Copies of this chain bind each other. A is one copy, B any other.
Amino acid sequence: MSRPKVASLSAPSAVSAGKIVSALLAVETPGTGFTDITREAARFLHSTGAREGALMLFIRHTSASLTIQENADPSVLVDLTTALTRLAPENAGWVHDTEGPDDMPAHVKTMLTATSLQIPVLDGEMALGTWQGIYVIEHRARPHRREVVLQFTGSTI
Residue numbers of A with Cβ under 8 A of B are 1-30, 33-37, 39-40, 43-44, 47-48, 52-54, 56, 58, 60-62, 67-70, 73-80, 82-83, 86-88, 92, 94-96, 98, 104, 107-108, 110-120, 122, 127-129, 131-132, 135, 147, 149-151, 153-155
Contact = CB atoms under 8 A, between A and B. Distances in A.
Give the most central of A17, A60, A115, A135: most B CB within 10 Å. Answer: A115
Contacts of A60: 127-129, 132
Contacts of A114: 114-115
Contacts of A129: 60-62, 147
19 contacts: A2-B36, A4-B27, A9-B24, A9-B150, A11-B23, A13-B22, A14-B21, A20-B155, A58-B120, A62-B69, A75-B95, A76-B104, A78-B95, A82-B94, A111-B112, A114-B115, A116-B119, A120-B149, A122-B149
Instruction: Specify how many copies of this chain sit in the oligomer.
Output: 3
Nearest to A77: B1
A56 B155 CA distance: 16
B56 A79 contact: no
Nearest to A78: B95
A14 B5 contact: no
Given A107-B80, A111-B69, A7 B116 contact: no
